[in-house]
Amino acid sequence: MKIALVNQYVVPPGAGGGSRHLDLAREWAAAGDSVEIVSGSFNHFAQETRQRHRRTVSVHDGVRIHPLWTPGYRGNGARRVVDMVWFGARSALRRRSLSDVDIVIGSSPHPLAACAAAIVARRLEVPFVYEVRDLWPETLIDLGSMQRDGVAARSLFAIEAWLVRTAAVTVGVPPLMRSYLDSRDLQPRRYVHIPNGAVLSDESSNDRPHRASRLIEDLVARGRTVFVYAGSLGRANGVEAALVAAARLESHGADLVVLGDGPERRDLEELVAKLGSTNVHFTGQVPKPAAIACMNAASACIFHLLDAPVFKYGLSPNKLIDYLAAGRPLIYAGPDVENPGTQSGACVIARPGDAESIAEAMRSIISMPTEVREELGSKARDHAIREHSISNLAVRYRDVLNECV
């Protein structure tokens, strides 16, 4: 089977950011499929252009990645919108790399990439699969970034409805995505839920340890309890409360290592400076293998996400799955909805946006006997193996694709 996948935000191995599609594609290639991924040249997670030469194709474990040049942007302003439109248009016009495929997958978050994939599939007269990872524009409306009755929201809702009607299969990543479709009176031809997953191989990288993992190892060796937050530093993440909580526990032997970047990073660093804290460490964007090593070396991990009505359809964030796969206790400070963290039984629960609640959860981890921490870590790992093995998810996904062609 020859599979094409269009996702603007796929990054090559070793880069920071989500790896869902590259991990799935590697599994499909290992099973004998040919996989072509069309992505953007601008790395959204690192906020930098990684490849300006449109004809440069990279091959990773049999998976070919075609980076289309886009203008790039900082933050979430108008330039990002231009970047999305540019990528969607160029993807729809792409012919050489997508001229001989059996099926085309178009993935959100923004629907323009999926729209381009649908256009390509129609031109080639092959099935189109619509994969929904984030609910746009619903999420943007709930976060106050867009007006429900505005032209932009109405346009995105119209595109969303067209994609669902057009797709041979709609694949949902959020656990209760089907309920969302019902609420919008959208009836897909077929619906399948395939959550995010993690590579669960026990093989360790032979690369030189990253400075972030060395920092954590040094802190642990000094007897500190090290908490790791990995992911974007955006408004929806609301990481301020976790930083304030960590600052309050500096004298209790706690350190917080923040892996990642985003539009709020500068403000967060200024907040830490005002607090006078020396136990909060920003590492910037960290390559995925190094981020995994950091989680493995940490005492516990922190998941933080501000609540919004759209999250009632459940959560399946990449970083939450990676935390579970690392086999470490988890502080879950997020919406009270269906999610892998609380389902694992490996969590200490805190209220999102509440620094004292998060600090109390951190104190609980600090005072926790080693055997209890290990028990929680085992529960986390077991849940990841049982429900979120990327190998198992790739088989399920591939079966769905085979049934379409």
The closest of 12, 153, 9, 131 to 72, measured between CA atoms, is 9
Highest mean pLDDT among 92-101, 133-142, 255-264: 255-264
The closest of 374, 340, 393 to 131, measured between CA atoms, is 393
Q: Per-residue pLDDT tens for 57-74?
A: 888 899 999 888 877 777
Q: Is the pLDDT of residue 239 over 60?
A: yes
Comparing 93-97, 295-299, 380-384, which segment has the lowest mean pLDDT? 93-97
- Summarize the confidence of residues 237-264 as an average pLDDT: 96
Q: Per-residue pLDDT tens for 84-136?
A: 777 778 788 776 667 789 999 999 888 889 999 999 999 999 999 999 998 98
Q: How confident is the model at residue 43 (pLDDT cuts 50, 70, 90)?
A: low
Q: How confident is the model at residue 149 (pLDDT cuts 50, 70, 90)?
A: very high
Options 3.20.20.450, 3.40.50.1970, 3.20.20.70, 3.40.50.2000; CATH of 211-387: 3.40.50.2000
Average pLDDT value over all residues in the chain: 90
| The pLDDT of residue 53 | 45
Q: Per-residue pLDDT tens for 183-238?
A: 999 999 999 999 999 998 754 454 668 999 999 999 999 999 999 999 989 888 99
- If DSSP codes are grouped into helix, strand and coil, which group holds residue 128? strand
Radius of gyration of the chain (CA): 21
The model carries a pTM of 0.89
DSSP readout, 149-206?
A: TSHHHHHHHHHHHHHHHH-SEEEE-STTHHHHHHHTT---SSEEE----B----PPP-
3-class SS shares of the chain: helix, strand, coil, % to 5: 45, 20, 40
| The pLDDT of residue 48 | 63
Q: How far apart are CA 287 and CA 283, in angstroms?
A: 11
Name which CATH class applies to 2-197+389-404.
alpha beta
Q: Could you tell me what percent of the chain has a pLDDT over 90?
A: 70
Q: How far apart are CA 376 and CA 380, in angstroms?
A: 6
| The pLDDT of residue 19 | 87
Q: How confident is the model at residue 145 (pLDDT cuts 50, 70, 90)?
A: confident
| The pLDDT of residue 76 | 65
Q: Per-residue pLDDT tens for 321-380?
A: 999 999 999 999 999 999 999 999 999 999 999 999 999 999 999 999 999 999 999 999
Comparing 15-29, 48-62, 105-119, which segment has the lowest mean pLDDT? 48-62
In one letter, which amino acid is 197?
Answer: G
Domain(s) labelled CATH 3.40.50.2000 in the chain stretch across 2-197+389-404, 211-387
Q: How far apart are CA 213 and CA 226, in angstroms?
A: 11
Q: How far apart are CA 401 and CA 127, in angstroms?
A: 9
| The pLDDT of residue 28 | 98
In one letter, which amino acid is 404?
Answer: C
